[in-house]
Amino acid sequence: MSIFRRDRRVTGRVTVQEAAARTGHGSAAEGGADAVLLDVREPNEWQAGHAPRAVHLPLSALATGAGLPAGAQAGPFVVICRSGNRSRQVADLLAARGAEAVDVIGGMRDWAAAGLPVVDSRGGNGIVA
């Protein structure tokens, strides 16, 4: 069963474990990645710590008309922020544009608490800011 809803006007929500499985992170990645992990936090938050292979596009940039990076346009998208508020907004926005998108309940805080990988802008151990 897909975690992505067929009705694109209503976005779904997933746990960090489901997000990790769909994006190929951590031990939950056994089924393989079929979604793009889209991190919508601001640059300073991203630099402090993010999931490896995530795509960065801050909500503030998306709200002012920025498009998705070339490598991430196909989706589907698992959208993450610090706690789940901004990611919900972006998932709704992407769904309104016709994309398949879900947001991550608890965001990067729950991601890190679950022991999933977090790296900083230099590839070292990151923190959730």
Distances (CA, A) of 77 to 34, 37, 41, 126: 9, 6, 15, 23
Are 60 and 101 spatial neighbours (Cβ–Cβ below 8 Å)? Answer: no
Q: Which of 75, 62, 58, 77 is nearest to 19 (CA)?
A: 77
Q: Catalytic residue at 50?
A: no
Residue of 81, 94, 108, 116 with catalytic role: 81
- Could you list the active site residues? 81
